[in-house]
Amino acid sequence: MQPDATDKKILELLQENAHMTIKEIASRINLSVTPVHERIRKMEREGFIEKYVCLLNRRKLGKSLLVYCHVTLDKQRKESFEEFNKAIAGMPEVLECSVVSGNFDYMLKVVVSDSEDYNQFYQLKLSALSSVLHISSYFVISEIKHTTGIPVG
């Protein structure tokens, strides 16, 4: 069953602040705590809500550099994709990695401390993979928008 309008309001609030109490959510949407609680549990059970996480300030933690990479594999073959996918899983600096359509194979989002740190990652980890043919790096100069909230309207 898809979330109804009330469920969606709850999701919007929780996507913005998961520490909001059920009581607070209830008062915002003019309901008592019980139905709000039940709706949340239901959406958790049914997988609409996947998990609750905290978001950190990467700059304060010294991870000031954000880089997007385009990766082209040497050969578009099963073994290459498998090697690459497996390697990516073990790289904590890679936050996102997707196979994309277009003139390259992968799109990566990488978080590192600085350009030297990125160089280490680039030379010792990414280009060390035999499956990799070509890498283009795009350094983020300014983050205009950054949200984890998907539109539920």
Residue numbers at the binding site for a second copy (CB under 8 A):
2-3, 11, 14-19, 46-58, 60-63, 66, 68, 85, 88-89, 92-102, 106-107, 111, 136, 138-153
Contact between 79 and DNA (CB under 7 A)?
Answer: no
For residue 125, give both structure tokens. Answer: 């980890």
Do 142 and 7 contact (CB within 8 A), yes or no?
A: no
Q: What tokens appear for 143 in the block? A: 């983050």
Partner whose footprint covers residue 21, from DNA, a second copy, none (CB < 5 to 8 Å by kind): DNA
By a kind-dependent CB cut-off of 5 to 8 A, residue 111 interacts, out of a second copy, DNA, none, with a second copy
Half-sphere exposure of 130 (CA within 13 A, CB side): 5
**43 class by beta-carbon count within 10 Å (0-12 exposed, 13-18 middle, 19+ buried):** middle
Q: Specify the stretch interacting with DNA by CB under 7 A; choose among 18-26, 59-67, 108-116, 134-142.
A: 18-26
Exactly one of 27, 34, 115, 136 binds DNA (CB under 7 A); which one? 34
Phi, psi dihedrals of residue 75, rounded to the nearest 5°: -130, 135
- In whole angstroms, how close is the CB of 1 to a second copy at the nearest point? 11
Tokens read off for 57? 């300030």
Told to check if 133 binds DNA by CB under 7 A, we report: no
